[in-house]
Amino acid sequence: MRLSILIFSFICFASLTHADTNTLCIQKFLSKTVFNPGPADGLWGNKTKKAINQLFSQADEFNVKKIEKDDAEKICKVLESEQNLKLLEIGQFKRYPIDITEVISEEFLKTKFDFSKIKINDAANYFCSFTILHHEGFERAAGKLQIKNGVIKFKDNKWFVGLASKGSEIYLKEEANLRVSDIGIHGKIPYLSYVGKGEVAKPVQYVSLGHNYTKSNANSNIDNGIMGKHKFLDKRGNEASLLIYECSDEMQKELTYDILPVVFKNLNVRVKKRRFNFQSISIDLDGLEIGNEKFDNFNLVLMIDYAEEGSIRGLTELFRIQIKADGIMPEENISNLTNCKNISWKNLAYGVKLQYLIGNEFELNSCLLRNLYPEKRNILGSIANSLPEILKAGLGNEPEQLKDILMVLNDAKQHEL
Amino acid sequence: MINRRHFLKVMPPALALSGYPVHGFTKDAVDGRIIIIMLQGGMDGLLAVPPIGDDDLFKQRKALVAANPLKLNPLFGIHPNFKNFSRLLKINEASIVHATSFPYTGRSHFEGQNISQIGLRKPFSVDTGWLGRAMDVAKITGKAMSLDAPLLIRGAMEFDNFYPASISNTSKPKNDLLNLIKNSHDEDMMKTFEKLNQSLMQGSDELRARDPLSLASKAGEAMRHNDGPRVAVLTIPEFDDHSSIGSTTGHHPDLFTLLDSVFGQLKKSLKETWKDSIVLTTTEFGRTVQENGSEGTDHGYGSVGLLAGGLIKQSSVVANWPGLSNKALFEKRDLYATIDYRSVCAACIEAAFGLDHGLIIDKVFQDKNIKRTYHHIFG
């Protein structure tokens, strides 16, 4: 009996000596949620550790990684701050993330792949940008992807394949089946072919990756096997590639295609005389604001290459907006422009000019946009979107000229997909 | 003589569209769309979304578990007939709420269906529906197009209902009648009815479609326009399977296929508007955990809610899983509903109509104890 009392007293004493007010604070908070920490005794045990980690794994916005006993004070402060109401709300229900690894339908069989002999990098968790490059170098598709425990999930994406572009964003989202290892990316993806006007739709190809990986030279601490060119062969044996870049731990805000309001104080529009099939319009804008970006003086040139009469391309072969590259893209990216078609940029004696294409060659723009500063990527698209207002403001006194140019612009836009 | 159960079985699928923006009134209208699929008769949530990681499932149910559910995560799977819905889960455009129900344990279809539509604790206590009241609060008004406007979308605001009845030798509603209805309203309302009349005259035959897939297609086509309805209610009846419910194949699995096709059709026909939409199922109650002697299940309590739409950013199963051991069951027979499904409906209203949670639980559900699930479903 005496021995039992002694042991009991020892256990109680030991417990008291290890009890911690911060752990107790965590346990009391958890007891108001569905994450059970066990008894509120101030002792850091497995139940408390599991429960607090489960709660924060659901609270993405707090960005708290694995919590250990040493973090108890810091966590307790969060739980006692004004943020506790948000956490209390999150803690009322459990979320079980979806992780479907099985084949869902017959369609999915087209990208079925045997990963059993590949050591998947389960620790790879990133958000990245990607582009799929045709063997001649220009872009076939671009967008965002997420790498979760080594599995690649495609997010927002866009194919630039003419008539086949419509509704194509679903292919990579639903059918791609890729995993990351330390030596590259493995698996199969759908690969769409360009369909021009009057052409018959071509069947989707399913191509395998994992044969050839070239790591990006860019300084990066991202794991091996992710950032760089992952080459694959199309059905004709041509070498195309999936390029993965700009990976980070955080979800990146999609800026590429955002259209922002364009505001300016003054402008001057000069319509040059048409020579053969070419005409240009120079526009100087003072006090230009595009979203949060401000420019004192900004010059852009509209370059119109008229099409021959009766052309299936409509009124224009090309309709371009040309601006200076200065301040819009990092200098080191200029060499990357060689991957884009030369009509989307020009290296002239007085500097590099970027050309945003409206209409027939619209799909080439993402190649250009990818190389701009992220915060500047929506400038060209926003200007293109505001062109009618800019032209109306600048050519208000020349209604006939304005009408003609707007007609050409609208015609070019109709050839966008 | 037709009995109540038989009446429930023969009720046809139906579609009601509501919340047409009225000119000059809803110029600042929210872009969100809500589509409710009412699963009448009580869907078996354990057959649809089996908790395959809970060993007690296989102790309680000997036959009524599909042979090859698709594994969603260590705890939950989904019936293999939900192919479209599984794809939506995979691309983060769908979520599931499990062990949930409207606050009703009486196991009567009539009371349960009433509560699932009025969204209050006491059946038959009001003559408006929770979605109708939500539209009132969000100031989304307009006319409904339906044979019988479901209680769910009836609000306190002025409400008219019109559906061209299928009378023999009348392929289209009579012009005189339509004009009479139009002329009985003023200004903005008159314009709205003119628009409705035009759409009825153009597509009256399509409106008579009665199968859920055609109705889903029609709903999507109407809702994807800027001035289209913000709300649709589809019903799929016949879930009241007391015998031979089926496991991998059979009547309930066939209904899963139908429901799955409706999800697929809605995504297809809503097109770009899908990104602003949320589709959610409702059912009056779940079914018993154990199968009965005739390989069916009887009226129960907790079930499952399926949600899909572009407003969802991250797929998951939301559940405070109560377990399936005898001790964990409600009245020793039913899945315990640990989530009030009204909190899910409230989150959908918040996401689609942009209303504050506090306002929704006060004005729509009149119950301040309803917790917020917005974060869990819409992230």
d(CA B12, CA B210): 7
Q: Which domains does chain B have, with CATH numbers?
A: 4-164+208-378 (3.40.720)
How close is the nearest chain B Cα to the Cα of A247, in Å?
20
B88 touches chain A (CB under 8 A): no
Chain A residue numbers with beta carbons less than 8 Å from the beta carbon of B319 are: 93-94, 96
Strand partners, B330: B334
Chain A residue numbers with beta carbons less than 8 Å from the beta carbon of B375 are: 89-90
pLDDT for A15? 47
Query: Is A249 exposed, middle or buried, given 0-12, 13-18 or 19+ CB atoms closer than 10 A?
Result: exposed
The answer to whether the CB atoms of A98 and B376 lie below 8 A apart is no
d(CA B142, CA B144): 7
Chain A residue numbers with beta carbons less than 8 Å from the beta carbon of B339 are: 93
B261 touches chain A (CB under 8 A): no
pLDDT for B217? 84
**pLDDT of A255 above 50:** no
Across A382-410, average pLDDT:
92
Across A226-244, average pLDDT:
90
A149 touches chain B (CB under 8 A): no
Chain B residue numbers with beta carbons less than 8 Å from the beta carbon of A96 are: 72-73, 75-76, 316-319
pLDDT for B268? 86
Q: Which helix (H) or strand (E) holds A304?
A: strand A293-306
The answer to whether the CB atoms of B316 and A97 lie below 8 A apart is yes
**pLDDT of B355 above 80:** yes
**Per-residue confidence band for B188, with pLDDT thresholds at 50, 70 and 90:** low
Nearest 5°: the CA angle A178, A184, A187 is 25
Retrieve residue A191's tokens.
Answer: 């690969």
Q: What is the chain A residue with the closest CA to B76? A: A96
B354 touches chain A (CB under 8 A): no
Which residue did the predictor score with more confidence, A8 or B180? B180
pLDDT for A203? 82
How close is the nearest chain B Cα to the Cα of A106, in Å?
10
d(CA B184, CA B197): 13
pLDDT for A46? 93
**Residue bearing tokens 């969204």:** B119
**Residue bearing tokens 């408006």:** B128
- Side chain identity at B294, as an amino acid letter? S
A85 touches chain B (CB under 8 A): no
Which residue did the predictor score with more confidence, A163 or A42? A42
Question: How many CB pairs below 8 A link A and B?
Answer: 70
d(CA B186, CA B177): 16
Chain A residue numbers with beta carbons less than 8 Å from the beta carbon of B66 are: none
B263 touches chain A (CB under 8 A): no
**Per-residue confidence band for B377, with pLDDT thresholds at 50, 70 and 90:** very high
Selection from B257, B337, B340 nearest residue B303 by Cα: B337
Q: Which helix (H) or strand (E) holds A224?
A: none
Which residue did the predictor score with more confidence, A369 or A361? A369
B316 touches chain A (CB under 8 A): yes
d(CA B137, CA B364): 8
Strand partners, B285: none
**pLDDT of B172 above 80:** no
Mean pLDDT of chain B: 83
B357 touches chain A (CB under 8 A): no
Mean pLDDT of chain A: 84
A174 touches chain B (CB under 8 A): yes
Q: What is the chain A residue with the closest CA to B86? A: A104
**pLDDT tens, position by position, B279-303:** 999 999 999 999 998 889 999 999 9
pLDDT for A373? 85
List all residues of chain A from 50 to 69 with a beta carbon under 8 Å from chain B.
Answer: 58, 60
d(CA A143, CA A158): 6
Could you tell me which residues come within 8 angstroms of residue B217 by beta carbon, excluding any fewer than 6 positions away?
A: B265, B268, B269
Across B95-123, average pLDDT:
95
Q: What is the chain A residue with the closest CA to B268? A: A167
Chain B residue numbers with beta carbons less than 8 Å from the beta carbon of A95 are: 316-318, 376
CA dihedral A28, A32, A38, A44 (to 10 degrees): -40
Chain B residue numbers with beta carbons less than 8 Å from the beta carbon of A34 are: 320
Domain chopping of chain A, boundaries: 2-90, 107-248, 262-414
Selection from B195, B179, B255 nearest residue B229 by Cα: B195
A97 touches chain B (CB under 8 A): yes
**Minimum-distance CB partner of B70 among A96, A104, A173:** A104
DSSP class per residue in B106-165: S--HHHHHHHHHH-SSSTTS-SS-HHHHHHHHTT----EESSS--GGG--SS---EE---
Which residue did the predictor score with more confidence, A156 or B263? B263
Chain A residue numbers with beta carbons less than 8 Å from the beta carbon of B371 are: 89, 92-93
**pLDDT tens, position by position, A79-111:** 998 888 999 999 999 999 998 877 665 554 678
**pLDDT tens, position by position, B4-34:** 444 444 456 667 777 766 544 433 556 899 9
Contact A160, A257 (CB under 8 A): no
Chain B residue numbers with beta carbons less than 8 Å from the beta carbon of A104 are: 70, 83, 86-87, 90
Chain A residue numbers with beta carbons less than 8 Å from the beta carbon of B80 are: none
pLDDT for A247? 86
Mutate which: A62, A104, A106, vs B, most B CBs within 10 A: A104
Q: Coil, helix or strand for A12? A: helix
**Per-residue confidence band for A63, with pLDDT thresholds at 50, 70 and 90:** confident
